[in-house]
Structure 1
Amino acid sequence: MEPITDLATCLLCGAGASPALNLPRFAGAACQGCAQRVGHLLVQDPTSLTDIWPLLADDVDDEPEPSVQRADGKTVELRQVIAEMKRELSVEDRMKLAEMYGEIGLIREQLEECGRVLVAAPAAGLAQRALDVLFSEELCSPRGIEELRGRMFPA
């Protein structure tokens, strides 16, 4: 879905959104600033958002992280190596990675990558792709917008 070109009201902050990022499931739009705030919430503390994205809780694992040996002989956790590799990716490539994670069933990783895409404040087209994933019927709770609004703008 493409961003809306006309001025619309953001479902999260209530301000005018131009360009407005389409949230068709919730019959409205979000502004770029709120999309970026959603990304920050996902990156900073994804486990606190399980009421909005229940599949963020699916990765509870008591297994130790696998280790790999670097060329210099040092042993490090696999997640550290992957994080280093991801730092080199463009925002477009991170969005492709998020989409690939979804295709192979790594939904928690998909949601977190979409958050990182939004934090990077990409062009409206990339933000729209990330929001399309995040607010899809399969991943986001029906009250996702209301829950987010309460978190982002507590009364």
Structure 2
Amino acid sequence: MVENVGQTEAMRVYLPATVPALADSRGLSARAGRAVTPGLRTALGAEADEEMAEYAALVLAAEDSLALLAGSDAPRRVVVAADVADSVVRVDDAELARVHVAEVPVTDMVSFHVDAADESVRALVARAVGGDQQATADLGDEDLLWYDISEREALVAEG
């Protein structure tokens, strides 16, 4: 949990997306994502700190992003980190760390986590999207690059 300046309770959520979706200056449509939920904390165990739990939610959202890339010409996993009001988050106890959120305006977005534009990474993502289980496993070794919210337009232009 994080707290916004206006004292409204907020939750950090990690939302799978695509680079073209970031072009919408209004933000993201309603979608499922991942967050640090009580179920995730239980699964990780008592030794997991907040940073480890947030990283686990980010990794799960990166896996989810693969489903959005079917038919994409330039596949790159994208995860949007956003701080959204608790009132627009519904925790889904049926799946680990799964949450559903209403629209997420750009003003709630904090950062983007995206695969490198490198051709070898794009090829690996494309194979994973195509169902190659080894490629999906290998993506676990590929870190997502961090982009500040102010870099949204440059990221969209990069593709």
Larger Rg: 1
TM-score of the superposed pair, with normalisation by structure 2: 0.29
Pick the structure with more strand per residue. 2
Pick the structure with more helix per residue. 1
TM-score of the superposed pair, with normalisation by structure 1: 0.29
